[in-house]
Chain A
């Protein structure tokens, strides 16, 4: 009798434990998140001396000759203070500059949710990376409005977030050049394809995010151009709202009165 009781008890315990592992394993699978890259991440500049030197201090891309020539002309125009975009805003893209944002000192502000990753520049708005399995939008549709961030979709390969971006603008409204410049002298054009890999690592007490960018466009590059930036997590930090013109009342007054007021009718 005792032996039967014990046998049955042990059997029941085994079944209960097996069920428990099954249930909790399923919950662990359901609640298992990929690596969470949420946080404020500061790009690490090892000491380039200037923003331009940092942004362009990537492995030199192999560019098509016509792009090299265009870059030389643009450099000459900049030295001569010739700007392209101040007045004519027809048929151009106003918002966003992906390559600038990813290389700039304002930290990347990333919030990773179930279906989408928001990747902003400190307080500003910016990129949306869809991770819900949906494909790219139709970038050739008349209703598609390109921004300087393109259209991004992402998926996880183990602990690495792989992001695919297309749909870059033909012409930018703001900036020293009418096209979206990429580090090293490349371009992000409607024909351009970008793949990024986001990978978290830990060194001593710090957490880093390495983003590897690969730009590919037969209209720009002789072969795909790859480089990496490393970002350091700033735990507990909050973003700064950089609106310098609003912070200085006298500057704001000058800014607002430097434009001729609309005529009263």
Chain B
């Protein structure tokens, strides 16, 4: 009888522990939802170590390509949208995380529902690639492949995004959720002699004013002049 009562007691404790564990698991991950901006002290970007081929590549041409992408309102893609100075809007659900930038760019989707990258033949590469994320404790580790070579392709610290690029990111909240640390590591055997890692520290801010996204107008002549011609003080530049 005593053993029976001990058993009941033990079972009750066990049930209590299980219930708390299950409940805790459901609310386990940090929530990155909110508005995050970069400030003057947000950047830690070492110089990339490039392959000889990449180091000797025509960077003037890359700069021109990027400038044309901005001038013609192309989708900017990653990493450009992550470096945007207007606050990023991050929306997190249990199944995926969306990152919306102010300028012209597709939304980044990071799938956290356990899916893997699709087969290469089943996915059309994008300027943001295909991203899947896994939680390691309080850190969201994101793996991205299937980039294309469109949009703004130059990377912070050197190098460019190519269809062979592989990006790993670590997202972690700091300072009681007031900062979001993102560590980026790019790998591409044709571009980097060793993986290129840099970090941004975002600051949490209130919802920005309207409009929340910027509509790019390629027909804006002043804008086109500003981006594509040399500054000329005292001439009325860049107005035509």
Contacts and interface: CB of A to CB of B under 8 A. Distances in A.
B150 A118 contact: no
A118 B100 contact: yes
Contacts of B224: 259, 262
B60 interface: no
A144 interface: yes
A27 B109 contact: no
Contact of B126 (A17, A123, A256): A123
Contacts of A17: 12, 15-16
Nearest to B113: A236
Given A36-B95, A113-B93, A240-B124, A95 B213 contact: yes
Contact of A31 (B26, B97, B109): B26
A105 interface: no
B55 interface: no
Interface residues of B, number: 70
Interface in A241-265: 241, 243, 246-247, 252, 255-256, 259, 261-265
Nearest to B11: A13
B237 A238 contact: no
B14 to A, nearest CB: 10
Contacts of A6: 1-2, 4-5
A9 interface: yes
Contacts of A5: 2, 5
B93 A38 contact: yes
Interface stretch (A18-26, A42-50, A190-198): A18-26
A263 B239 CA distance: 10
A151 B207 CA distance: 13
25 contacts: A2-B2, A6-B2, A6-B5, A9-B5, A9-B6, A12-B9, A16-B13, A20-B15, A27-B23, A30-B27, A31-B23, A33-B94, A36-B94, A89-B219, A95-B211, A109-B109, A111-B97, A115-B34, A116-B89, A118-B91, A120-B100, A147-B213, A247-B150, A262-B224, A265-B232
A-B CB proximity, top 4 nearest: A27-B23, A20-B16, A95-B215, A24-B19
